[in-house]
Amino acid sequence: MSVSIVVSTFNRCQSLERCLASLLALNYSEFEIIVVDDGSTDETAFFLKSLKDTRIRVVRLARNSGLSHARNTGVLAARYEVVAFVDDDCVVDKDWLKYLSEKIFQGGAGLVSGQTFYQSRDYKGYFPERIVQNIDARWPMGCNLAYRKAVFSAVGGFSNYFYKFNNEDTEMAIKALAGGFTWLRAPGAVVYHQQTNWTISKLWKSANNAAVWPALKKQYPKHFRLLKPRLLAGVVVEPVDYLFILFFPIILPVLLLRYFAHGKRDLKIFFAKWPVYFILRRYYIYREAIKNRVLIF
């Protein structure tokens, strides 16, 4: 049961070193690691040239083309029937590939998603750290995922268009399910997302993620709800946002006390979330819905 592992990377050399070290320590006998260097300009190229392990192959792109293109390049280079994906800012549990491969080979699935924790199993992450968690493998998240190569041959690869929403993995999974492939969860396949330095700009940029749903509804009107997203009646995206915005003046003191109780002190980040993040998210959703001429808000 040989597996190809694809790691796409761009200017995150130190994180990549930790990622590859965890992959080389996997409790699994037959695998290859394909590192797609997406035009890095830091010391990544030098580091990759220094690697001697024959299980690692490097594909270097001349310029940065985005995560979707890099992953698709890795799929084309893969030698084996099953392709697993992990991001360069993650580390894997030693049995990660064992659990992924069991589900996809024995379960006959087209795709399998694993469970992702932020930093560790015991870390009590708070927003926005929860954005990079996937507890119980609920979602086909690109940093902990495996596909049969046959899926890519049948329905195509990761979309550059949906990458702009940071949801190319969501679109790929819906496309696969719409094409008749099955999806299984493998909670035992554990990945730990390395620490992320959240800034206001990163937080606000992530507000655009939910705007993927008008685009998905337009492109997959019969299938966009297959992953059971937080969509009330198929038209209201993240409905709890409206309650946060409406009652923000009332709940502000409680939110501030909770924020300080968790040891947080950056008020700029606090107000970037409460309420700006939620208002921005509504704006991006409305804009995309109007652009695609679909009823979703």
**Structural domains in the chain?**
3-196 (3.90.550.10), 218-292 (no CATH)
CB 154 within 8 A of CB 79: no
**What would the pLDDT profile of 176-225 be if each residue is shown by its tens digit?**
999 999 999 999 999 999 988 888 998 999 999 999 999 999 999 999 99
**pLDDT given for residue 100 in this prediction:** 96
**What would the pLDDT profile of 71-99 be if each residue is shown by its tens digit?**
999 999 999 999 999 999 999 999 999 99
Contacts of residue 218, defined as CB under 8 A and 6 or more positions apart, other chains included, come to 292, 293, 294
Q: Tokens representing 82?
A: 């099953």
pTM to 2 decimal places: 0.94
**What would the pLDDT profile of 139-161 be if each residue is shown by its tens digit?**
999 999 999 999 999 999 999 99
Q: Tokens representing 51?
A: 């690697």
